[in-house]
Structure 1
Amino acid sequence: MAGQRRAGRRAIRRTAGLGLAAALLASGCSAPEATDPAVTDIRRTLDGRAAAVLRHDESAYLAAVDPGATRLRATESREFRNLADIPLRSFEYRLGDVKRSGPRAVAEADLRYRVDGYDTAPVTARRTLELAERDGRWYVTADRAAENGARQLWEQGDVQVVRGRRSLVLAVGQGGPRLRAVAATADRAVPAVSGAWPSPWSGRLVVLVPASLSAMGQLLGAPSSAYRGIAAVTTGETGPAGTTPADRVIVNPQAYSVLGDYGQGVVLTHETTHVATRAHTSKATPMWLSEGFADWVAYRDTRSTAGQIAPELRQAVRRGDVPAELPADADFAFGGDAGALARAYEGGWLACELIAERWGERKLTAFYRAVGEGGHRAGAVEKALADVLGTTPQEFTVRWRDHLRERLQG
């Protein structure tokens, strides 16, 4: 059980300042009015490239690539075919800064795309493109993830697509039976989450399964070592539905595969909860609440005991080491002490279990929404505790510590 607990973790990517607007249905680029006519020409090149993806027109796609860049054209051709089976509803570039030096230019752009039937908002990926002018036309000579940015699945290999009833699994280098099993588990997670979370959400899930832990790190734009032993993470941003990029559940194929059916179900239900609650999660929401609630939903319909779900915290409580305070956000950082990380998640789960048992499940979900509505961390939890639960942080902490002893000392 301890291995399952450490494996079922996620990370919210809180990248700020993207200024995303409502999703567009057609391809295209947009940027502030350009004073350099070359910017208009570069935008036209990227427009044609994006439109070619939606039309499945490889020749038109490659027409935007420098004719003399043989190696790049081969790579671009391969990647175009890799993404051919992804059901895209939109695909566009939002052109940002362009730095030009004669017939050469470097452009920063946001690649925005939506998966048809699943995304209510686009995924956004920052790209750096190098271009060259030949005979009055601008061609792409390099296309890569921006600095500290994430790669895309189709850059890693041929994308396999498996459709579930409520899920879409996109993968590289995986077997069909394995992906169908992932889809089936995701399909079960969706109604389980809806049964615990009464607020409307899409009820649909996109799951990415890369070929390796290293490839997972590339999709997250982070060192893969931080996710070793982590079975899955959820990417996304907090904020109202439709104003933030679409969520993706990214599976670590190595850690996920060693779990049994039960552990895999817990992991995907946990991650699905983050997708469902995203619109009601904000900077005001502490990690103990967002992670604890996701674990509470994941274990809600299981028969696991508190000792099985919270083995690390149980050992601490039994030796008289009862935490003085609820877990801090820093306690949930990946890549540190695995035992401390597990205790943080377990403490958050027991806090949410306490609310569900003492005040009721409806109060728990109301409390979650009330905290998220705060907008800012300062005072949000305190106000929600008073307004929804009729208690104070001090009283709640005392009840939580007593709950830990009651549930874990036996």
Structure 2
Amino acid sequence: MSPVRPLRPLLLRVLPLLLSALLAGCAAPAAQDGGEQDVRRAVAAWSRTPPAQLADVPLEDWTYEVSSVRRSGAAATVRAELRYRLTGYDGAPAGSAREVRLSRDGGRWRVTGDRAAPGAPPQLWDQGPVTVVRGAHCLVLGVGQTSRTLSAVAEEADRAVPAASAARPGPWAGRVVVVVPASLERMAELLGRPAAAYRGMGAVTTGRAGAAPAPADRVVVNPQGWAELSAAGRGIVLTHEVTHVATRAVTTDRTPLWLSEGFADWAAYRGGATTRQQAAPTLGRAVRRGELPGGLPADGDFAFGGDQEALARSYEGAWLACRLIAQQWGDAALVRLYEHAGRDPLPVALRDVLGVDEPALTRAWQDSLRADLGGPAPAP
């Protein structure tokens, strides 16, 4: 029995020391390495202040929502969704998938980079410092553009907003955000498509159809196409795009593109001095050759990047269809048809608003093309 007795006091003295050493060994790497929560906290602290490129942009609700964290030694990569609103302009937050990079320095995580996530388009400020021009009805944001150029765009936008409101008196924000990148290629980057898809175009509109509350719409200007337009052409292009913004809440997947695009052109040309022959030269040449369209333009006829003449004929034909409806049934009927077609199938909307079916409207449209554009009369 006596040999055992000295061992117990020894264990009682040594065991706490062993446990302390083991616990210290487990805790040290965690304190030195940091954890996922430390990375998330570092991103949250860093994201409280927008980047310097946006110093003059009115922002609210600027937040990064972290979705995943990947660590490798002293480096970490975070996937996050940026949510923000432009004060006074966005009824709902805009979103951007981002990739944030961090490094560990002195036991703390520090953000070293922020860019668009792989596969996601960049934001305007990723292309450089953003210059801001405020108009009466617009906010113009540009990169690589002079204040004079942006002010000229703002003047056009300030005329376009009231014109769009007059064409469709229904409720909308009555203000618009216009983005002017440095080049066609930079525009295409923002929109996530090849530059060829927008070559020759003056501007396009982003946004989600039928969204409620109002989505974060943007009119994006192609600086190369814009420079080639006349003063009148710039006004028509911008009014067309602003009309898309004004009608966004009542535009849905049901709305035929000939009605959506035709209505926007009708609003842009409305009250102007442009004749049918001047506004529809490509379709006019086809009609005079005896190539009368067999039907109203299909949605696929408005795809970018294809046959430019065919695309022009589709836009011109859509405008003339809406112009015909406004002339024969009245402006208010055209507006009601637009709103109705976003809720119900087109045959139902045509019957309820105009009292005709699609074949009857198509025949009336074809007759007007012959009369207005100088095409041959139909065979007896």
TM-score (normalizing by structure 2): 0.85
C-alpha distance in 2, partners of 1:49/1:84? 16
- After TM superposition, give the deviation of residue 39 of structure 1 in Å: 4.7
Equivalent residue letter for 1:361? D
Q: Secondary structure at the match of 1:52?
A: coil
1:384 aligned onto 2:346: no
Matches within 5 A, 1:1-400: 38-53=35-50, 80-99=51-70, 104-133=75-104, 137-242=108-213, 244=215, 246-374=216-344, 380-400=345-365
- After TM superposition, give the deviation of residue 122 of structure 1 in Å: 1.7
C-alpha distance in 1, partners of 2:67/2:261? 35
- After TM superposition, give the deviation of residue 180 of structure 1 in Å: 1.2
Indicate how the Cα distance of structure 1 residues 342 and 104 shifts in structure 2: closer, same or farther if over 3 A, else same.
same
- After TM superposition, give the deviation of residue 137 of structure 1 in Å: 4.2
Q: Please list the CA deviations of residues 164-219 of structure 1 after superposition, one character each: whole Å capped at 9, or x if unmatched.
A: 11111111122222221111110000111111111100011111111111111111
Q: Secondary structure at the match of 1:285?
A: coil
- After TM superposition, give the deviation of residue 382 of structure 1 in Å: 1.3
C-alpha distance in 2, partners of 1:258/1:293? 24
1:33 aligns with none
Equivalent residue letter for 2:372? R
- % identical aligned pairs: 54
- After TM superposition, give the deviation of residue 41 of structure 1 in Å: 3.5
Q: Secondary structure at the match of 1:93?
A: strand
Q: Please list the CA deviations of residues 294-313 of structure 1 after superposition, one character each: whole Å capped at 9, or x if unmatched.
A: 01100002111111111110
C-alpha distance in 1, partners of 2:364/2:40? 59
C-alpha distance in 1, partners of 2:372/2:43? 59
Say whether the 8 Å CA contact 2:214–2:249 is kept in structure 1.
Answer: no
Size of the aligned set, in residue pairs, is 342
C-alpha distance in 1, partners of 2:120/2:261? 25
2:6 aligns with none
Q: Secondary structure at the match of 1:127?
A: strand
Structure 1 moving runs of 4+ over 6 Å: none
- Structure 1: 5+ residue runs without aligned partners? 1-36, 54-79, 375-379
Say whether the 8 Å CA contact 2:258–2:297 is kept in structure 1.
Answer: yes
C-alpha distance in 2, partners of 1:351/1:340? 16
Indicate how the Cα distance of structure 1 residues 44 and 308 shifts in structure 2: closer, same or farther if over 3 A, else same.
same
Q: Please list the CA deviations of residues 122-176 of structure 1 after superposition, one character each: whole Å capped at 9, or x if unmatched.
A: 2211112344455664443442212332211112122111111111111112222
C-alpha distance in 1, partners of 2:129/2:374? 51
C-alpha distance in 2, partners of 1:290/1:386? 18
Q: Please list the CA deviations of residues 279-299 of structure 1 after superposition, one character each: whole Å capped at 9, or x if unmatched.
A: 011111121111111011000
1:408 aligned onto 2:378: no
Say whether the 8 Å CA contact 2:205–2:218 is kept in structure 1.
Answer: yes
Q: Which moved more, 1:235-244 or 1:267-276?
A: 235-244
C-alpha distance in 1, partners of 2:59/2:163? 28
Larger relative contact order, structure 1 or 2 (CA cutoff 8 Å, min sep 6) = 1
Say whether the 8 Å CA contact 1:241–1:278 is kept in structure 2.
Answer: no
Q: Secondary structure at the match of 2:82?
A: strand
Q: Secondary structure at the match of 2:92?
A: coil
Equivalent residue letter for 2:198? Y
Say whether the 8 Å CA contact 2:91–2:214 is kept in structure 1.
Answer: no
Say whether the 8 Å CA contact 2:90–2:214 is kept in structure 1.
Answer: no
2:12 aligns with none
Equivalent residue letter for 2:247? T
C-alpha distance in 1, partners of 2:348/2:74? 59
Q: Please list the CA deviations of residues 380-401 of structure 1 after superposition, one character each: whole Å capped at 9, or x if unmatched.
A: 1111111111111121111121
C-alpha distance in 1, partners of 2:36/2:297? 50
- Structure 2: 5+ residue runs without aligned partners? 1-33, 376-380
Q: Please list the CA deviations of residues 97-117 of structure 1 after superposition, one character each: whole Å capped at 9, or x if unmatched.
A: 444566654433221211112
C-alpha distance in 2, partners of 1:204/1:237? 17
From the CA coordinates, give the structure whose radius of gyration is larger.
2
C-alpha distance in 2, partners of 1:39/1:204? 42
- After TM superposition, give the deviation of residue 243 of structure 1 in Å: 5.8
Q: Secondary structure at the match of 1:129?
A: strand
C-alpha distance in 2, partners of 1:398/1:41? 68
Q: Secondary structure at the match of 1:47?
A: helix
Indicate how the Cα distance of structure 1 residues 98 and 388 shifts in structure 2: closer, same or farther if over 3 A, else same.
farther
C-alpha distance in 2, partners of 1:292/1:46? 46
Q: Secondary structure at the match of 2:208?
A: coil
